[in-house]
Structure 1
Amino acid sequence: MRYRDWTTRLNDVIKAAQGRPFSWGEFDCCLFAADCTAAVCGVDPAEQYRGKYKTETAAKRQLKKQHGSLEAAWDACFKRVPLSFIQRGDVVLYDAPGGRSMAVFWAGDYWSTTEDGVCRIECEPLAAWRVE
């Protein structure tokens, strides 16, 4: 269930992340998306991953070991929704130049991590999860 003030909480997480540089295991696309879901409803899908990797290779190893895939990790916490039903606060999977990534839908745009911090991105979602 979403917090009563989830819109304020999510907005605060996104604003705080706008100047934070990308760093595997500290601030990457999955950890940012998980921070957002924790702000919306208190569920942290990355809880068992935090502090366990510092490189892309190690992140993929942890993902394979614990869930098998990025999709399965998000499926374990949230229900998938059809792409045509994405709403504010939902999380999506998309193909980024460096591989599959996660983004949050907010204020009519998708938000994800970049080298310079979180910003609006252009993406074509491949899957979406209802955060509640």
Structure 2
Amino acid sequence: MRNRDWTIRLTEVIKAASERPFSWGEFDCCLFAADCAVAVCGVDPAALYRGAYKTEAGAKRALKKNHGSLEAAWDAHFSRVAPAFIQRGDVAMYDAPGGRSMAVFWAGEFWAATDDGVARVVCEPTAAWRVE
């Protein structure tokens, strides 16, 4: 169930991350999306991963060990929806230039962690999850 004030909380998470530099295991695409999920409904899909890796390879190892894949990690906490039915506060996976990435849907756009902080990204979601 979504928090009563989830729209305010989500806005605050996005705003706070707007200038935060990308850092594996501290502030990356998956941790940002998980922070958004916590703001929306209080569920942290990255609880097993926080502080568990410092590199891209480490993130992949942790995913393989704990859930098997990025999709399975999100499936363990939220229901999938067709990308065409994504709503505000939901999370999407997309193919970024550096590989799979996660974004949150807010204000009619996708927001994701980038090298320079959270920013709007143009993407075609390959999967989406209803965050509630």
The question of a shared fold, defined as TM-score above 0.5 by the shorter chain, is answered with: yes
CA deviation vs aligned residue, 1:31-73 (integer Å, no higher than 9, x gap): 0000000000000000010001000000000000000000000
The corresponding residue for 1:77 is 77
The corresponding residue for 1:18 is 18
Aligned pairs, number: 132
Does residue 5 of structure 1 match 2:5? yes
The corresponding residue for 2:128 is 128
The alignment-based identity, stated in percent, is 77
The corresponding residue for 2:51 is 51
How far has the Cα of 1:82 moved from its partner?
A: 1.0
**What is the alpha-carbon distance in structure 2 between the residues aligned to residue 83 and residue 49 of structure 1?**
25
The corresponding residue for 1:68 is 68
**What is the alpha-carbon distance in structure 1 between the residues aligned to residue 70 and residue 64 of structure 2?**
8
Extract unaligned runs of 5+ from structure 2. none
**What is the alpha-carbon distance in structure 1 between the residues aligned to residue 13 and residue 114 of structure 2?**
15
Extract unaligned runs of 5+ from structure 1. none
**What is the alpha-carbon distance in structure 1 between the residues aligned to residue 59 and residue 48 of structure 2?**
12
Aligned residue type for 2:12 = D
Does residue 90 of structure 1 match 2:87? no
CA deviation vs aligned residue, 1:71-112 (integer Å, no higher than 9, x gap): 000000000001111000000000000000000000000000
The list of structure 1 runs, each at least 4 consecutive aligned residues, that deviate by more than 2 angstroms after superposition, is none
**What is the alpha-carbon distance in structure 1 between the residues aligned to residue 131 and residue 35 of structure 2?**
12
TM-score of the superposed pair, with normalisation by structure 2: 0.99
Does residue 41 of structure 1 match 2:44? no
